[in-house]
Copies of this chain bind each other. A is one copy, B any other.
């Protein structure tokens, strides 16, 4: 996919053979992978640990990878198609489906129809500026 190359270039990075292998690996992993899992999966393909860490970060940056928490609370990285999407994780087999709709109240009800999943729960985290910080012009970080 040449699209990928362009997206990597846009963030000042090259789309190399190793990075392609990392991306392919995630595309072929419906339950996602933890980083250690990705590392060991590509050990024989001679892709180094450092490269995997860097590529995971880059793929997230260009919106091709997101994460979910597995049953142990560990980050599991999953290929996705857009920067903003809502993954749904199967609590039994761990398979992840992507939901790109973002009408939230409608979402939970429609989600079952769209994905075939039985929704049992969710984790929702908002980001924004607090009242104090909304007033400020510049930014001090936490």
Given A68-B125, A106-B105: A130 and B86 interface contact (C-beta under 8 Å): no
Is A14 part of the binding interface, using a Cβ–Cβ cutoff of 8 Å?
A: no
Which residues of B lie under 8 Å from residue A108 when comparing CB positions?
104, 126
| Residues in A93-142 with C-beta less than 8 Å from chain B | 93-95, 97, 99, 103-108, 111-112, 115-134, 136, 139-142
Chain B, Cβ-Cβ closest to A111: B126
- Give the complex CA separation of A132 and B133 in angstroms: 46
Cβ–Cβ < 8 Å partners of A130 in chain B: 90, 92-93, 95, 97, 115-117
A69 lies within 8 A of chain B by Cβ: yes
**A94 contact from B90, B106, B142, Cβ within 8 A:** B142
Q: Which B residues are in CB contact (< 8 Å) with A49? A: none
Distance A84 CA – B121 CA, assembled complex (angstroms): 9
Interface residue ranges, A against B (CB under 8 Å): 31, 68-71, 84, 86-95, 97, 99, 103-108, 111-112, 115-134, 136, 139-142
Task: Given contacts A91-B128, A116-B130, list 7 more A-B pairs with CB under 8 A.
Answer: A70-B142, A88-B128, A94-B141, A104-B105, A104-B108, A118-B134, A124-B124
